[in-house]
Structure 1
Amino acid sequence: MEKLICALWAPQGESRADFGAHLLAELPDALKAAGASGIRLNIRDATVEPAAPLVQQWQQPQQDAVVQFWLPSANAIFRERIDAALAAVSGRFEAWLTAESTIIPNKEHPPHAGERTWGWSQASFISFRPDMTREAAVAHWHSHHTRVAIDTQANFEYVQNIVVRPLTSGAPLYGAFVEECFPLEAMTDSPAFFDAVGDEEKFAKNTKDMADSCAGFIDFSRIDIIPTSQFDFAHLDKA
């Protein structure tokens, strides 16, 4: 099985709200019919609008949604129905083949079939520093930064996806996609994000440690970080 991450853009003239509703109503069933499993949608909806100040942008326009799923093979000759399903609901889509590593599984607030998952999900498309080899960047990410991200944040789900290769010709050259889930208050309360409510010393340390670690491998000029609502459709695998 191979995991795909797909960025989706709304058709011209369709609002982000209407696009999200359209995706939720149609895309999971269409992808399942085309052979996908483990389907998850990340939607930029009204619930996550308070987190707008946390957005970091490279792409113009920026992604409106993300869909994640698994296929027996991501090879182009076996992906035609998947690509057709994505094209039918979006103005543009780009796709990457990834390798998933679940650092913190969501055991505290597990998703319910087709419903919005508790809290909110920060979806991060990141690029590695150009002055580092890919191997060195990944080594810092996996051997140093992962521990920092666990220790300094209030994330109750943390999934790393390293990009193996782009699958579409227009796909931005990201190095990875990361999904982290937080409590809703972390959208607007920085100490809540950094697991330091009521502790100024801890807040200062956690923010510095996280910033220093990110600077050790991320190219901040080529990242897209978006707040999303997570909707998991893994229940469709049993249908």
Structure 2
Amino acid sequence: MAAIWDDDPTAVLLTGEFRDACAAAGARRLQVNVSDAAVAGAMRISELDPPIDAVVSVWADDASAVLDLLDARVRTLAAWQVAERAPLDPALPADGTRIDALANLAFLRRPRDLPRAEWLRIWLDDHTRVAIDTQATFGYTQNIVERALTPDAPVVDAIVEELFAMAAVSDVHAFYGSGGDQAELERRMTRMLASVARFGAHQNLDVVPTSRYDFEVGPR
């Protein structure tokens, strides 16, 4: 997964030329997430300065050639090798149409005083059910960072993607699935915040609201 900083990432990342080049470099699948006008009203948290403009996910046996392509086409990138888990994995079109969703990407950092094994246990074993139960997500992917792939990549321990209905851009009840009930909204928010605080995901994170596009570009 590569975080992108660029003035106009869509001018590169959503072109047929880029997809063809990625396929020739060995990519089987691409996912492009762009922070654009469609999600401009959604909550953003930026620990990094400047904030992330886009994220590209690449499925390939060796992503180094694709990263070289990206590096030549955008202003700045940082990339990580990740292990993917998908507790909520909806069937989505992979023809390059915009997914009808607010796709939130959260870049998590483990507190240094919390051992990695315990951090993973709390997040993956305890928190996953809470996240699904307290938010109106229809897609939820957990990417565990295994190593940085680019020099000077920021420290990131995990990258989470959650898919919400577009109404969640501006409606907190749509985000949490509380149906307009203020007491239920507060109950869900309180439970969620208590859970993320257990593994440090309430601070020192980046949350990037995006539009998402999926592409099958090579043989599976």
Q: 2:132 is paired with a residue of what secondary structure?
A: helix
Letter in 1 for 2:72: A
The answer on 1:193 being equivalent to 2:175 is yes
TM-score, normalised via structure 2 length? 0.94
Mapped contact 1:20–1:45 kept (Cα < 8 A): no
Q: Structure 1: state its 5+ residue gaps.
A: none
Matched-pair contact (CA < 8 Å) for 2:26–2:62: no
Map of 1:97 onto structure 2: 81
Find 2:53's aligned residue among 45, 64, 84. Answer: 64
Q: Contact 2:135/2:176 (CA < 8 Å) preserved in 1?
A: yes
Which residue number corresponds to residue 129 of structure 1? 111
2:134 corresponds, among 146, 149, 152, to 152
Distance 1:34 1:238 in 2: 12
Q: Spell out the pairing of 1:189-228 with structure 2 (5 A cutoff).
A: 189-228=171-210
Question: Does structure 1 residue 9 correspond to structure 2 residue 5?
Answer: yes
**RMSD of aligned Cα (Å):** 1.6
Aligned with residue 22 of structure 2, among 25, 28, 31: 31
Per-residue CA deviations over 1:170-222 (Å, capped at 9, x if unaligned) read: 11111100111101111111111001022222211110111111111125443
**For 1:221 and 1:207, how far apart are their aligned partners in 2?**
16
Name the aligned partner's letter for residue 19 of structure 2. Answer: P
Alignment CA distance shift 1:206-1:219 (3 Å): closer
Amino acid in structure 2 at the alignment position of 1:96: W
- What displacement does 1:22 show? 2.6
- On the 8 A contact 1:94/1:167 being kept in 2, the answer is yes
* Deviation (angstroms), 1:160: 0.3
Quick one: percent identity of the two aligned structures? Answer: 37
Contact 1:111 1:118 in 2 (8 A): no
* 1:168 lines up with 2:168 in the alignment: no
Aligned residues: 219
Residue equivalent to 1:85: 69
Measure, in 2, the Cα distance between the counterparts of 1:34 and 1:155: 34
| 1:233 alignment partner, SS class | strand
Q: Does structure 2 conserve the Cα–Cα contact (< 8 Å) formed by 1:20 and 1:44?
A: no
Give the letter aligned to residue 4 of structure 2: L
Task: Compute the displacement of 1:129 (Å).
Answer: 1.8
Matches of 1:178 and 1:113, distance apart in 2? 23
Q: Deviations over 1:43-100 (max 9, x none)?
A: 111111111xx111111111110000112135xxxx2x32321112211111101000
Distance, in Å, in 2 between the alignment partners of 1:43 and 1:227 is 8
Does the 8 Å contact 1:152/1:206 carry over to 2? yes
**After superposition, what is the alpha-carbon deviation per residue over 1:120-164, rounded to whole angstroms, capped at 9, x for unaligned?**
100111111222111111100011110001101111100000001
